[in-house]
Amino acid sequence: MAIPQLTSEAMALPLSERVSLAQALWQSIGHSVEDAGEKGALSDSIARDQEISSGAVICQSHEEVMRAARQAIACV
């Protein structure tokens, strides 16, 4: 079955079944992702925390980011 068809059928599932499917898919790749990038992700997280704590960067809420993204592609 092609990915677009799978996606369409998966999106038609009830929420609880989509959540279960998403968890099963994530768990099936989780170990290789953790092994490959866990150290990098941790050091990135520490660096981002330091940038935020020092005031070097200013955080934006999800809503602010999405509003800016919509404006950037003229969806407002």
Over the stretch 44-64, which tens digit does the pLDDT of each residue have? Answer: 888 989 999 999 988 999 999
Average model confidence (pLDDT) across the chain:
85
Give the pTM.
Answer: 0.41
Is 40 within the bounds of a domain?
yes
Q: How many domains does the chain have?
A: 1
Compute the half-sphere exposure of residue 70: CA atoms within 13 Å on the CB side of its CA: 8
Structure tokens at 23: 């968890």
Cα-based angle 23, 25, 28 (whole degrees, multiple of 5): 105
Q: What is the DSSP letter of 57?
A: S
**Full residue range of the structural domain in which residue 57 is found:** 18-72
Number of Cβ atoms within 10 Å of the Cβ of 18: 13
Is 45 within the bounds of a domain?
yes
Structure tokens at 46: 């520490």
